[in-house]
Amino acid sequence: MRVVMIAPPGAGKGTQGGLIAAHFGIPHVATGELLRDHVARRTDLGRSIEGHLDRGELVPDDVMMDVVRMAFVDAKAGSGGYVLDGAPRTMDQARAGYVIARELGMLADVALHLRADDHELMRRLLARADLEHRSDDTERVIRKRLKVYHRMTHPLVAWYAQRGILVPVDAMRPAEQVSRDILAALDARRPLVGDVRE
């Protein structure tokens, strides 16, 4: 099973991505986590992107696509499945990701769209800010991240709908209800064994 997640910050993509990964026995590739790990380890990449993360801005597409390509290569060497949480986040990333995935025979089966309104997202993120102390969970940066989502990432929903792989889920409900719907929808779309795609 190969899944990409399109979701605004605070919609629960980390939680749901983890559950999907456990259910299907596939790696959970969370780009935000990977980037925060680089920042924490003070790698060259980490130092070059720290400011973007702190300001709630996207890191450059070319940096991101290197990270995604490596994740696809690792996933291919493993079970062949993945749940990609946090990318693509721009149309350019979606197109570049499509080309990389096609080259590797790793095209997504499903684009999962978690839907929630800004008011609820803001409430959740501010609650999380008290618990997790992420540098980008302040009210000002959250507003910025929501704006970036609407402008840069949300248009991908229409693109995946055109490709016929979009699965929208109402993420305004408690996490268990959301995950039940997600797993039922994904199970129904599980590729058949031996299914050959480009």
**Residues annotated within a binding site:** 10-15, 31, 36, 57-59, 93, 128, 134, 145, 173
Binding status of residue 32 toward ligand AMP by CB under 6 A? yes
In the list 2, 28, 38, 89, the residue contacting ligand AMP (rule: CB under 6 A) is 89
For ligand AMP, give the closer residue by CB, 7 or 182: 7
List the one residue out of 43, 26, 15, 154 whose CA is nearest residue 78.
26
Name residues contacting ligand AMP, limited to 107-166 (CB under 6 A): 136, 145
Q: Which amino acid is at 196?
A: V
Sequence-distant (6+) residues with CB within 8 A of 139 are 122, 126
Q: Is 31 in the site for ligand AMP (CB under 6 A)?
A: yes
- Residue 35, interface with ligand AMP (CB under 6 A)? yes
Instruction: Name which position in 59, 125, 171, 186 contacts ligand AMP (CB under 6 A).
Output: 59
Asked if 2 interacts with ligand AMP (CB under 6 A), we say no
Tell me whether residue 121 or residue 188 sits nearer to ligand AMP (CB atom). 121
CA distance 68 to 6: 15
Q: Which amino acid is at 107?
A: L
Beta bridge pairs of residue 111: 4, 166
Question: Could you tell me where the beta strands, DSSP code E, fall in 54-198?
Answer: 82-85, 110-115, 166-170
* Position among 17, 56, 81, 97 found at the interface with ligand AMP (CB under 6 A): 56
**String of DSSP letters for 103-131:** HHT---SEEEEEE--HHHHHHHHHHHHHH
Query: Which one of the spans 49-57, 114-122, 123-131, 188-196 is the region binding ligand AMP (CB under 6 A)?
Result: 49-57
Contact partners, residue 190, CB within 8 Å, separation at least 6: 1, 24, 109
- Residue 166, amino acid: L
If one counts every other C-beta atom within 10 angstroms of the C-beta of residue 179, the result is: 18
Name the minimum Å distance from CB 118 to ligand AMP: 15
Near ligand AMP by CB under 6 A: residue from 39, 87, 101, 116: 87
Can you give the binding site for ligand AMP, defined by CB under 6 A? 9, 31-32, 35, 52-53, 56-59, 64, 86-87, 89, 93, 136, 145
